[in-house]
Structure 1
Amino acid sequence: MAARSLEIGPAGIRTARTIEILRTERGLAQRELAARVSALGRPMTNTMLSRIERAQRRCDIDDLVALAQALLVSPLVLLQEAEGPVTSFVQRR
């Protein structure tokens, strides 16, 4: 039996949109963010990131954590509804 792809639900779509908003707020190209994620040990191409942002590829928990780290936010921020600029949720180091 062939595995069927699972539909991406509202939380996944919301997360995809928040990732795109944060990336653009920071002035990063998809290629730059994908490189940051890869440098953190989670290999990601700009094509993979593009598909995540368009909700055409599932963002698994490891992707979510690495993307949050590369964007300097908590993973919880990526799961919440983006309202206006998301820069107020930047992690303090």
Structure 2
Amino acid sequence: MTQPTPDARNPLGETGHRVRCNVKLIRSARQLSIQKLSELTAQSGRRIPPLGISRLESGKRRIDVDDLVALASALGVKPADLLAEPLCRDCSGMPPAGFTCNTCGIGTPGA
């Protein structure tokens, strides 16, 4: 019997969507690759591998407090900035299922 994925038991909530949207928007605005952001998180004391960042941005990975602080430090923002309302005013970080926002490039999980 197959075990359910962690996302199925504990889906990403509104705050998680805010964080993933803001991480991707800030990373893109600063023209940082996922690899470079991974390196910067390591410099802040908590390395998040590139696959982890990719999964976080796509909504397939949850984020804990230590990751939040490391990402904020690596991106040069406060942790509260990552928790704030999404920076994209068009989709609020949550485009309809199966679609990607033309403004910020965020796509919903499973899209």
Question: Does residue 54 of structure 1 match 2:58?
Answer: yes
Q: Could you say which residue in structure 2 is the equivalent of 1:26?
A: 30
> Is contact 2:25–2:87 with CA below 8 Å preserved after alignment?
no
Q: Higher relative contact order by CA 8 Å / sep ≥ 6: 1 or 2?
A: 1
Structure number, greater radius of gyration: 2
What's the C-alpha RMSD, in Å, of the aligned pairs? Answer: 1.6
Distance 1:66 1:53 in 2: 15
Normalising by structure 1, we get a TM-score of 0.82
2:84 corresponding residue in structure 1:
80
Question: In structure 2, how many angstroms separate the alpha carbons of the residues matched to 1:31 and 1:78?
Answer: 19
- Unaligned 5+ residue runs, structure 1? 85-93
Question: In percent, how many aligned pairs have the same letter?
Answer: 35
The answer for the alignment partner of 2:99 in structure 1 is none
Measured in 2, the distance between the counterparts of 1:83 and 1:20 equals 10
Give the length in aligned residue pairs.
83
Normalising by structure 2, what TM-score? 0.69
Indicate if the aligned counterparts of 2:69 and 2:79 stay in contact, CA closer than 8 A.
yes
